[in-house]
Amino acid sequence: MMIQADVTIRLKKGMADPEGANTLKALTLLGFKNVKHVESMKTFRITLETDDAKNVEDEISEMCRKLLANPVIQEYSIKIL
């Protein structure tokens, strides 16, 4: 069966986020005065074909450890769609 999951990689709390800070500045310059904070994050939508639905999350966690996230600066969350 086909399973889809969204894997979101975000910076750990307290890590500098120049991309978010720069976007906040740009939005403010564009006149969006209500914007108080912007955080950047990245989402990968992964489609798998598997007969082993209950281990999908483990498999995706392994993908995060091996490639998608650097644990020094990032954390990840997995949402099965």
Q: Which is nearer to other proteins, 50 or 70 (CB)?
A: 70
Site for other proteins in 49-78 (CB under 8 A): 65-68, 70-73
- Residue 23 CB, shortest distance to other proteins, in Å, is 9
**Inter-CA distances, 76 with 17, 41, 55, Å:** 16, 10, 17
Nearest to 41 by CA among 68, 61, 4, 80: 68
Rule CB under 8 A: is residue 15 a binding residue for other proteins?
yes
Q: Which is nearer to other proteins, 65 or 79 (CB)?
A: 65
If you write DSSP's letter for every residue of 9-28 in order, what string do you get? EEEPTTS--HHHHHHHHHHH
Can you give the binding site for other proteins, defined by CB under 8 A? 12, 14-16, 18-19, 21-22, 65-68, 70-73
